[in-house]
Amino acid sequence: MPLAYSLPSNLSPATVTNTSSLLRIIALSLISGAAIASRLFAVINFESIIHEFDPWFNYRATRVLAEKGFYEFWNWFDPTAWYPLGRVVGGTIYPGLMATSGVIYNVLHALHLPVDIRNICVLLAPGFSALTAWSTYMFTKEMKDESAGLLAAAFIGIAPGYISRSVAGSYDNEAIAIFLLMFTFYCWIKALKTGSAFFGTLTALFYFYMVAAWGGYAFITNMIPLHALALVLMGRFSSRLYVAYSSWYAIGTLASMQVPFVGFQPVRTSEHMAALGVFGLLQIVAFAELVRAHVSSKQFQSILYGSVIAIAVLGALAFGGLTYKGWIAPWTGRFYSLWDTGYAKKYIPIIASVSEHQPTAWPSFFMDLQFLIFLFPAGVVLCFRELRDEHVFVIIYAVVASYFAGVMVRLMLTLTPVVCVAAAVAFSSLLDTYLDPAEPAVSEAAALSAEADIAADSPASTSAAGTGAAASGTSKKAKKAASADSSSSGFGSGLAAAFSNKSDKSRGIFGLDTRSLVIANALGMLLFFVLHCTYVTQHIIDDFREAYYWLRQNTPKDAVVMSWWDYGYQIAGMADRPTLVDNNTWNNTHIATVGKAMSSSEEVAYPILRKHDVDYVLVIFGGLIGYSGDDINKFLWMVRIAQGVWPDEIQEPNYFTQKGEYRIDDAAPPAMKNSLMYKMSYYRFADLFGGNQAIDRVRGQQVPKTGPTLDHLEEAFTSENWIVRIYQVKKEDPLGRDLKSANAFEQGKKRKKSKPLVRRKAVV
Amino acid sequence: MTIFHRQRSQGMRFLRGLLLPLVALAGFAFARSSTGDSVLVLLDPSLDRDNFSIFFGDLEKQGYKLTFRSPKEAEPQIIKDDVAQFAHVIVFAPDTKSYAADITPQSLVSLLNKNTNLLLALSTKQTPITSLAAEFSLILPPPGTPLISHFPERDTPATIIPVEPPRAQSLVSSNLAPIWFSGVPQALGNNPMLVPFLKAPPQSFASDGDSDSGSDALVEAAEKGGEGLWAGSQLSLVTGFQTLKNARATWVGGIDMFTDEFFNKEVSKGKQSGNRQFARDVTAWTFQESNVLRIDTVEHHRVNETLPRETYTINDRVTYTAYISKFNPELDLWEPYSNIKDMQLEFTMLDPHIRTALPPVPGEPGKYSVTFRVPDRHGVFKFVVDYKRKGSTYLESTTVVPVVPPRHDEYPRFLSAAWPYYAGAISTSAAFVIFVALWLGGDEREPKKGKGAKAE
């Protein structure tokens, strides 16, 4: 049997195994190192600080946990959030992230390593990304082999779609959730393969951790039943499946109900019904198997048909009835928006207003996954070729996650792992094929049997030629040699051998030139991928911090700050001041109240502000330096959300011009010009241009020369680039006048003469 | 807010203990203002100080330190470095049209915001002060229209009117003789902060010309159905105004009522006018001697506890206590005051969830207390006392306190309603034990058979 290149022959199998496992360990640790290091750019370039919005809340909650202990955290009522409603934090969050940091903090302190809780929070996400790489390795190893696992680990370690959510300082639930997701899936596959109740329990435990950490746990809750259902429908029911699923469902559900925020949801909401239904189905199927073992097959057929129909009808009736009676909560709005992308915009603007909940744009698939997105289908096809139970899982996962990632930008994150796994399978098959030194034997026998082969095994001959993952045909002898040798290459290949099972013969690659061409090309792709992944830009505009520290230093501790909800967590975290609404958008009415205040005129807004004890109003304005994520651009959402609650007072069309344009210049409609948001954004803006035409750089429109005036608010602070503007709400006039005339008096304007009030009607 | 009250009250109690004997020794010679003794008198040079010798003499006798200044002089400034230099300012410059730079309507209003009290005199002329009056919801008749009354018949001109003092009003001494008045009346706007001291006689009206002979204006206005007519007892002659920050400003329709001449003028044979006592009463109110209240401190705690909690749990029973004092000008100290019968306490989150009477505690002077059940609603609540009555200091106190849901270990441990669940858990456990026992102790044949079946 010819070899394309010679292999050392004087190595004992033990040496080969040991060396390869050593190399694997080294490779894994390097991958972990790379995963961590690539997330530390921000810390090295700037400083160790929490980013963005949600992480600030998580950080604040973690500090409470670290300082006051778990029970205080559990019972934490935050009076500064959602002022004056307050927020029962302990019962409305997924505590997994904070608990993780708390445990790490306490362990380190028990070891006399006085690490600041902030640094733990900042570095948690990079740390867990290394664990994610490892769990992806374990998962992919179950799919194909170690070499594919290493590739998958490397991919997930630096995939931009995951990096963007787990850089140092983005201390968010997703940071640990992806690790938990992958590890739970790994445990599930392991449990399914071995039929071990131990691994089933392990799946349940990590499922519980996942439930405690991220609302996206519903993905697992539905993925595993879907997989189990698919296996049952494919006629692959086995006691292994039964044991794995039952132990996962029973323990996992009970455990998940211990999280206060989840509570009775697993038995009350539609999202969890699939898991319950499949659990029931498995019991029935298992029972049917038992019956089949005891009765003749003819009787069994009739029993089966009868009972299946009866059970299906009963189950559907029960489900419908319970939903109708309100025992099972109907699907939530967030869930509907997964099926109908227009749903949220129509009925729940608050969900649609989050940029993360928008449908994904096509380029972001490439930006987030680069060439993996092209390998992804190839990997899925390769899974079809073998189609063991775990491959079914990957296929289902791929289909479901692709759909969801297309619906919501945010769910890109759940797609990333499966893309990495599938791409790794495809890529490693490619490498296996082209690294395999065995060359096909050219003989008449081979030519003869080629026809038979096409007839017998057409998928093998037609599939995946483009990816170069065609099964490497080897003779039986060559196969033996290959399986002994291939592990020495460091990309140990069991699958190549498995593939070659189907055709004992031979199609393959001749010579070194083709090999090196393809391998070089593939390595080039990997290189570009790495370059793409490290191309991460970080914008930190200091205006935010400047403004939040101004609030912290210059306002009383209990001064209530009103802003749009996006900035609630940041104000609470960085400025430490009570806020009206924040990123935990649980109370639509309260948000609509803020929306109404922002979109109404001063006279209407002022009583709202006073009623809520608002001392300062904060707006984000990007018109000066062209920061497009500012409040004027979000303004229509405020209007829409307010309109949802007060349709008589706020109407979206009033904020557009006659032609339906969104304008801020002279042509802006009166409702727009009188709105508090407009006034606060453009107050004194035109003065900045010293008589020249003022231009809003975001909207590219000319701002009126005589800017708006404010009577009920006064400017308190404007940051360097005018991004953050803070206004103080005036108190009632001490003389009992309305603030408008009080202001006119201060400016020396003459008041109109008035006559005594007529106390009685004139008698004519 | 609370802390401020508490500290102040502790300080005051200490001071009270220290000062009481001293004050007693000093005697009860004069009354004092609760805010300070320094008074700036802006006296127009055209007015002779000697004409007001009794009025100013009375003030000095009360212990006020008067500083005189002409409106056009630059010194002494009323506000220096954003700090008010005097506790009270009397503006006796009814005809002055131009003032020094530091005196403008705006600066006078800012004085009020710095808790300086004002006593302002008006005249029939149009001056900056007249335009300021409009800011206080006073509606003045057009320039040159003094108050005129032809009743009762007397030997003085129609513009010099004896006015019956109000009866049954706590701000002015009772049983005063009629008060001589000459000047402009003020119609009152809808502002609830206005405190009229002296109402015009029902027969009086404001009319063109300093000396009214006919009644043309009256007839003309009557033909219009009373529109634009400044007439009758709805007009006020001396009007107090208490700002939201509790500074007081009093508008006097004419400066003549403070002159020695009017003080000594007889209203009827052998009966002196009530002007002197009335002037005393008006300055006492204006300079915050009389009707000055304050909340010393507020306390709140759970029933059967003494210290306040950081947070309360829903459905707690909570006691709220306020201590209120009234200023005693004779002794120059604050005394506990228990005579408020209609005060209310609100427990508010956005809207008052509880509004209840806050009655005085019998036997404990100055203490007002109420016990109530916290509503079954968590959130950031406020104890709000908002007591505003005409003429006396506004009492306002806001104490923020979060109301939280019960802690995880404050719920009942055992629920009889949960018996089905307990039974389910117990029976499942028992069944499991029995099953295991049967399985382990059972026949060997059974599992073998099962295995065989599976192998098929």
Q: Give the amino acid at A689.
A: F
Q: Is the peptide bond before A225 cis (omega within 30 degrees of 0)?
A: no
- The rounded distance, in Å, linking the Cα atoms of A255 and A147 is 35
Q: Mention every residue, 6+ apart, whose C-beta is less than 8 A from residue B430.
A: none
> Could you write out the DSSP letters of every residue in A408-445?
-GGGHHHHHHHHHHHHHHHHHHHHHHHH--B-----HH
- Inform me whether the C-beta atom of residue B428 falls under 8 Å from chain A C-beta atoms: no
Going by C-alpha positions, the residue among A306, A163, A307, A289 that lies closest to residue A237 is: A289
Check: CB of residue A39 under 8 Å from CB of residue A168. yes
Option in B134, B137, B349 nearest A84 (CB): B349
> Could you write out the DSSP letters of every residue in B125-191?
S--HHHHHHHHTTEEPPPTT--EE---S--SS-TTSEEEPPPSS-TTS-SSPPPEEE-S--BEE-S-
What's the average model confidence in pLDDT over A10-22? 90
Provide the terminal-to-terminal Cα distance of chain A, rounded to the nearest Å: 126
- Inform me whether the C-beta atom of residue B247 falls under 8 Å from chain A C-beta atoms: yes
Mutate to test the interface with B, among A590, A735, A747 (most CBs of B within 10 A): A735
Going by C-alpha positions, the residue among A184, A185, A289, A294 that lies closest to residue A239 is: A289
What is residue B290's DSSP assignment? S
Q: Mention every residue, 6+ apart, whose C-beta is less than 8 A from residue A450.
A: A505
- φ, ψ of residue A763 to 5 degrees: the values are -95, 115
What is residue A669's DSSP assignment? -
- The whole-angstrom distance between B397's CA and the closest CA on chain A is 14
Nearest 10 degrees: Cα torsion A393, A396, A401, A402: 130
- Using a CB-CB distance cutoff of 8 angstroms, which residues of chain B are in contact with residue A763? 225
Q: Which residues of B350-437 form beta strands (DSSP E)?
A: 351-357, 367-373, 379-387, 395-404
Q: Would the CB atoms of A74 and B230 count as touching at under 8 Å? A: no
Position A452 confidence tier, pLDDT thresholds 50, 70, 90: very low
Q: Tell me the residues of chain B between 328 and 357 that have a Cβ less than 8 Å away from chain A.
A: 349-350
pLDDT at A501 over 70: no
The SS3 call for residue A197 is helix
Q: Would the CB atoms of A748 and B106 count as touching at under 8 Å? A: yes
The SS3 call for residue A492 is coil
- The whole-angstrom distance between B447's CA and the closest CA on chain A is 12
Residue-wise burial string across A505-515, b where 16 or more C-beta atoms lie within 10 A, e elsewhere: bbbbbeeeeeb
Mutate to test the interface with A, among B199, B380, B446, B451 (most CBs of A within 10 A): B380
> Could you write out the DSSP letters of every residue in A41-98?
HHHHHS-S---SSHHHHHHHHHHHHHHH-HHHHHT-EETTTTTTT-EEHHHHS-THHH
- The rounded distance, in Å, linking the Cα atoms of A745 and A729 is 18
Q: Would the CB atoms of A736 and B244 count as touching at under 8 Å? A: yes
Sign of CA pseudo-dihedral A652, A657, A660, A663? negative
Q: For the segment A672-693, what is each residue's pLDDT rounded down to a tens digit? A: 999 999 999 999 998 888 878 8
Q: Mention every residue, 6+ apart, whose C-beta is less than 8 A from residue B131.
A: A750, A751, B105
What's the average model confidence in pLDDT over A212-221? 91
Q: For the segment A382-440, what is each residue's pLDDT rounded down to a tens digit? A: 999 989 899 999 999 999 999 988 888 888 889 999 999 999 999 999 998 888 887 77
Give residue A1's pLDDT.
57
- The rounded distance, in Å, linking the Cα atoms of A588 and A594 is 10
Position A728 confidence tier, pLDDT thresholds 50, 70, 90: very high
- The rounded distance, in Å, linking the Cα atoms of A297 and A14 is 51
Check: CB of residue B314 under 8 Å from CB of residue B403. yes
pLDDT at A103 over 60: yes
CB atoms < 10 A from the CB of B108, how many? 23
The SS3 call for residue B122 is coil
- Inform me whether the C-beta atom of residue B193 falls under 8 Å from chain A C-beta atoms: yes
Give residue B374's pLDDT.
95
pLDDT higher at A41 or B25: A41
Q: Mention every residue, 6+ apart, whose C-beta is less than 8 A from residue B413.
A: none
pLDDT higher at B169 or A468: B169
What's the average model confidence in pLDDT over A627-654? 90
- The whole-angstrom distance between B274's CA and the closest CA on chain A is 29
Q: Would the CB atoms of B404 and A77 count as touching at under 8 Å? A: yes
Our measurement of the distance from residue B174's CA atom to the centroid of its chain's CA atoms, rounded to an integer in Å, reads: 23
- The rounded distance, in Å, linking the Cα atoms of A616 and A622 is 19
- The rounded distance, in Å, linking the Cα atoms of A497 and A488 is 15
A77-78 and A87-88 as β-strands: parallel, antiparallel, unpaired?
antiparallel
- Using a CB-CB distance cutoff of 8 angstroms, which residues of chain B are in contact with residue A81? none
Going by C-alpha positions, the residue among A429, A428, A427, A396 that lies closest to residue A414 is: A396
Option in B189, B379, B402 nearest A757 (CB): B189
Percent of chain A with pLDDT over 70: 87
- The rounded distance, in Å, linking the Cα atoms of A531 and A162 is 15
Q: Tell me the residues of chain B between 22 and 81 that have a Cβ less than 8 Å away from chain A.
A: none
Q: Nearest-5° angle of CA A386, CA A147, CA A422?
A: 50
pLDDT at A245 over 90: yes
Q: Give, in order, the Cα–Cα distances in Å from A570 to each of A41, A58, A186, A577, A590.
A: 22, 11, 36, 10, 18
- Using a CB-CB distance cutoff of 8 angstroms, which residues of chain A are in contact with residue B247? 734
Give residue B74's pLDDT.
84
CB atoms < 10 A from the CB of A286, how many? 18
Provide the terminal-to-terminal Cα distance of chain B, rounded to the nearest Å: 83
What is residue A668's DSSP assignment? -
CB atoms < 10 A from the CB of A302, how many? 9
Burial of B389 (0-12, 13-18, 19+ CB in 10 A): middle
Position A464 confidence tier, pLDDT thresholds 50, 70, 90: very low
Position A470 confidence tier, pLDDT thresholds 50, 70, 90: very low
ipTM associated with this complex: 0.83
Q: Would the CB atoms of B193 and A736 count as touching at under 8 Å? A: yes
Quote the tokens at residue A348: 């729940």
CB atoms < 10 A from the CB of B433, how many? 10
Going by C-alpha positions, the residue among B431, B411, B434 that lies closest to residue B423 is: B431
pLDDT at A478 over 70: no
Residue-wise burial string across A614-631, b where 16 or more C-beta atoms lie within 10 A, e elsewhere: bbbbbbbbbbbeebeebb
Burial of A26 (0-12, 13-18, 19+ CB in 10 A): exposed
Our measurement of the distance from residue A276's CA atom to the centroid of its chain's CA atoms, rounded to an integer in Å, reads: 25
Q: Give, in order, the Cα–Cα distances in Å from B243 to each of A351, A740, B102.
A: 47, 18, 22
Give residue B173's pLDDT.
84
- The whole-angstrom distance between A738's CA and the closest CA on chain B is 10
What is residue B246's DSSP assignment? S
- Using a CB-CB distance cutoff of 8 angstroms, which residues of chain A are in contact with residue B453? 293-294
Give residue A317's pLDDT.
87
Q: Looking only at Cα atoms, what is the longest distance across chain A?
A: 127
The SS3 call for residue A592 is helix
Give residue B236's pLDDT.
92
- The rounded distance, in Å, linking the Cα atoms of B65 and B409 is 65
What's the average model confidence in pLDDT over A180-206? 95
Q: Nearest-5° angle of CA B157, CA B158, CA B164?
A: 110
Region at B431 (left for phi over 0; alpha for psi -120 to 50; beta for the rest)? alpha
Domains of chain A: 13-142+166-171 (no CATH), 182-330 (no CATH), 428-441+465-534 (no CATH), 543-746 (3.40.50.12610)
Option in B227, B379, B400 nearest A558 (CB): B400
Option in B136, B379, B381 nearest A735 (CB): B136
Quote the tokens at residue A42: 């921000």
- The rounded distance, in Å, linking the Cα atoms of B194 and A473 is 103
pTM of the model: 0.80
What A626-629 contacts at long range (C-beta under 8 Å, 24+ apart), as own/partner pairs, is A626/A697, A626/A698, A627/A541, A627/A698, A627/A721, A627/A723, A628/A698
What's the average model confidence in pLDDT over A79-85? 89
CATH architecture classification, B293-404: Sandwich (2.60)
- Inform me whether the C-beta atom of residue B442 falls under 8 Å from chain A C-beta atoms: no
> Could you write out the DSSP letters of every residue in B23-57?
HHHH-S-----SS-SEEEEEE-TTS-GGGGHHHHH
Q: Mention every residue, 6+ apart, whose C-beta is less than 8 A from residue A547.
A: A618, A717, A719, A723, A724, A726
Position A463 confidence tier, pLDDT thresholds 50, 70, 90: very low
Per-10-residue mean pLDDT for chain B, 456 residues long?
Answer: 44 47 45 86 89 92 91 87 92 89 90 93 89 90 85 84 83 86 90 91 78 61 66 89 94 92 86 90 92 94 92 93 92 91 94 95 94 94 93 93 91 89 95 93 60 41
pLDDT at A544 over 80: yes
> Does the structural domain B33-286 have CATH classification 3.40.50.880?
yes
Name the closest residue on chain A to residue B188, using Cα atoms: A756
- The rounded distance, in Å, linking the Cα atoms of A100 and A5 is 51
pLDDT at A519 over 80: yes
- φ, ψ of residue A695 to 5 degrees: the values are -125, 130
- The rounded distance, in Å, linking the Cα atoms of B162 and B154 is 9
Give residue A42's pLDDT.
75
